């Protein structure tokens, strides 16, 4: 039985969770993160590389979920 993903609390945990699920995570020239899903029919997601805004982090997490990232919590 596989590990059940938990709710990430910061960008590092979110990046690690995405990579464990087969996503590719790149840093852009403007220090944003580009999340590329393993399913190429799903959209890529961009997020700020810093968690200075709780609302921004939650919005990015919602976009990642809609694109197929499995997160519990």
Query: Is residue 4 over pLDDT 70?
Result: no
Cα 61 to Cα 40: distance, rounded to the nearest angstrom: 19
* Domain formed by 11-66, architecture: 2-Layer Sandwich (3.30)
Could you read off the pLDDT of 19-56 as tens digits, one per residue? 999 999 999 999 899 999 999 999 999 998 876 678 88
- CA–CA separation, 56 and 10 (whole Å): 12
- Tally of CB atoms within 10 A around 39: 10
User: Is the Cβ–Cβ distance between 67 and 59 less than 8 Å?
Assistant: no
Residue ranges of domains in the chain: 11-66
CB 66 within 8 A of CB 44: no
CA distances (Å), origin 8, targets 29, 41, 61: 24, 24, 9
């Amino acid at each position: 039985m596989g590990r059940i993903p938990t709710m990430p609390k910061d960008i590092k945990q979110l990046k690690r969770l995405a990579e464990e699920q087969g996503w590719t995570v790149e840093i852009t020239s403007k220090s944003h993160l580009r999340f590329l899903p393993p399913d190429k029919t799903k959209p890529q997601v961009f997020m700020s590389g810093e968690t200075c805004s709780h609302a921004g982090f939650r919005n990015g997490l919602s976009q990642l979920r809609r694109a197929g990232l499995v997160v519990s919590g």
